[in-house]
């Protein structure tokens, strides 16, 4: 039909209902061009996004027991942003198989990051409908295995403030500075937010039920940021 066998080999999944695969690859421009009601992949994209969020959230929760909600959210966002999903779509050569309108084709739609990211999520939604949650989860785990290996692992960091100070003072005589910028909520349930700075530059922000917890959270976020940007390992 459109190289369906070779595509399914790359996916590592064979569809029982190939019409779902076709629908996942049908760009919305088809409906606009035809001028009639025509099915396209936006509903599947909506479903696939939810499945992807759930699978990755569970994996991050298990992999990073020291991460609070904020850090887990940041890690997930790094995995599911449009650029990341487009990379996965290109690796699967989804662009070649997209079903586009003539106008979308001539304007470079096959290589457009947004179209590829949407197609990846639509494809996941189709796998979920065709094979169930376990099949969808296996697909996500295969696709994101390498991505998880590049995420910073702070689970071994027991003293974020101490490790951050040690890391920064190995490169500068200046120690990190912490500043509380807000305290919200009633007295019995206060939430503090603070920033950590180094040489006048803000490194990260943190939140916690006490100033100490907020500072620790900010230090951990700074360590993760530095590890991600420079490749410096922490928690060793």
Whether residue 121 lies in the annotated active site: yes
Phi, psi torsion values for 205, nearest 5 degrees: -125, 155
Looking up tokens 């990755």 gives 56
C-alpha–C-alpha distance, residues 57 and 54, integer Å:
5
Q: Which is catalytic among the residues 49, 118, 193, 215? A: 49
Looking up tokens 């100490």 gives 212
Q: Is 85 helix (H, G, I), strand (E, B) or coil?
A: helix
Q: Which long-range contacts link 222-226 to residues 24+ away (Cβ below 8 Å)?
A: 222/164, 222/176, 222/196, 223/152, 223/154, 223/157, 223/160, 223/163, 223/164, 223/167, 224/71, 224/74, 224/152, 224/154, 226/167
Q: Beta partners for 26?
A: 99
* Ramachandran region, residue 175 (left: φ > 0; alpha: ψ -120 to 50; beta: rest): beta
Q: Which is catalytic among the residues 45, 121, 130, 143? A: 121
Active site residues: 49, 121
């Amino acid at each position: 039909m459109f190289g369906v066998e070779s595509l399914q080999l790359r996916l590592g999944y064979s569809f029982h209902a190939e019409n779902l695969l076709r629908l996942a690859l049908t760009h919305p421009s088809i409906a606009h061009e035809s001028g009639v009601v025509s099915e396209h992949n936006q509903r599947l994209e909506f479903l696939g996004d939810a499945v992807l969020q759930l699978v990755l959230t569970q994996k991050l929760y298990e992999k990073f027991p020291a991460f609070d909600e904020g850090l887990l959210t940041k890690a997930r966002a790094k995995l599911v942003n449009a650029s990341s999903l487009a990379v996965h779509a290109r690796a699967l050569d989804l662009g070649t198989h997209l079903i586009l309108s003539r106008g979308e084709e001539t304007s470079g739609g096959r290589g457009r990051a947004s179209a590829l990211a949407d197609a990846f999520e639509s494809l996941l939604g189709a796998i979920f409908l065709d094979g169930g949650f376990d099949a969808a989860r296996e697909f996500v785990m295969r696709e994101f295995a390498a991505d998880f290996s590049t995420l910073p692992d702070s689970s071994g960091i027991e003293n974020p403030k101490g490790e951050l100070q040690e890391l920064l003072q190995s490169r500068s005589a200046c120690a990190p500075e912490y500043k509380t910028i807000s305290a919200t909520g009633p007295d019995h349930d206060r939430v503090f937010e603070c920033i950590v700075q180094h040489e006048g530059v803000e490194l990260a922000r943190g939140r916690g039920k006490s100033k100490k917890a907020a500072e620790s959270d900010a230090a951990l976020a700074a360590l993760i940021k530095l590890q991600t940007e420079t490749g410096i390992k922490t928690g060793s």
